[in-house]
Structure 1
């Protein structure tokens, strides 16, 4: 609870009208934790975390390091259930809490306190990837190029609009239906490693793939 307090997660939740919040932590051994914040039987925050030795392949080199794996992240603002359902993002039953900055700080503190090398997440939805892209990057040039293409080709659309088109099967790459896949995004704590992995060679690959992508919305 203390870390949730320090990083501002609980103070922000209280500001939104949830005063008496329960914390439930369960797990399967030392390296897996399920963290849930509950108010009046409603889930406000659901996090599933694990610590894993993650195998990286970079420039034909293989090495293993321990990372915080974010298996699931969801926030819910059930007091806004009356909101127009058309304004919800794919995967939502109620709006989110809008506390990504605080959760990001919480994740950062966990990485430091556990002496890990960074964090890995597989965003289930495009709009999740947009949030995490502030600190994380896709580990493969293909995924990074697709992410850039979605922002480029739908620059006049809202993030919610792009995500809705994408996850309802309406986006085409040339003539093929584009399917969103939950591919790893990674945050390296060590800046040297970050510049080593995401180097000019990586950026050139991204640029080359980006030139081959042409996205559009299927006519209905």
Structure 2
């Protein structure tokens, strides 16, 4: 299971549910008693609570170190029921967005509730791509370098709200590769396909960036087929209960993965 840094675990223990869900002053809240629906992030976090969490977990300070003296947030619920949270440098503009998270409460097979991460974008509009930080498909700006910090916050948020697991479906191979450090593929056949492709990458001497662009540019083929191979998004899961985590580290799961190995033979055509 992903190991959350001690500083975040300490903050989690010392932030109360009352602080995170507090909406406003008593006088202002009297009016809300008569509203049918108070918009909260995931039905729990108020605007005041989100701002407090971002400060206490150190994200405001980290962004200040990156040159963002002022940051603001927007959050809400989309028509499809998913919840969004955006952090930006004011005034709001798409090119001033620093982080964007889109999540929903859902189920996975018999598991409920599960927190599905539908979209996560962490970017630094003040930075530029370089040989050390090459652009990857789907990126407009380099990353923030805060991926593990943000993942820790998402996990703690899910734990507080008693979710069974966090899931995602990466639309690009490089995202799935990054998530694979902490997430398991829900289905053994998807894990096998991923392992086969990683082995292929290594045999061809391709870096993560090289592989990502080769897929994007249609330079990867399945052996014997004439059309380019495109990454097939699959469910990845991070269990939040030890009993569930055991499923993906079990001998049964490992054997199922190995039985599906070798079904995909890839060819690289530069």
Q: TM-score, normalised by structure 1?
A: 0.86
Aligned residues: 210
Which residue of 2 is the match for residue 3 of structure 1?
A: 53
Which residue of 1 is the match for residue 7 of structure 2?
A: none
1:158 maps onto 2:207 in alignment:
yes
Query: Higher relative contact order at CA 8 Å, sep ≥6: structure 1 or structure 2?
Result: 1
Q: Within 5 Å, which residues of 2 pair with 1:1-220? A: 1-28=51-78, 32-40=82-90, 41=93, 42-52=96-106, 54-56=107-109, 63-81=110-128, 87-155=134-202, 156-176=205-225, 177-219=228-270
The structure where strand makes up a greater share of residues is 1
Using a 3 Å threshold, how does the CA distance of structure 1 residues 210 and 100 change in structure 2: closer, same or farther? same
Q: Which runs of 5+ in 2 are unaligned?
A: 1-50
Q: Which runs of 5+ in 1 are unaligned?
A: 57-62
* CA-based RMSD: 2.1
Q: Report the Cα offset of residue 38 of structure 1.
A: 0.7
Using a 3 Å threshold, how does the CA distance of structure 1 residues 121 and 208 change in structure 2: closer, same or farther? same
Which has the higher Rg, Structure 1 or Structure 2?
A: 2
* Distance in 2 (alpha carbons) for counterparts of 1:193 and 1:215: 33
Q: Report the Cα offset of residue 5 of structure 1.
A: 3.0
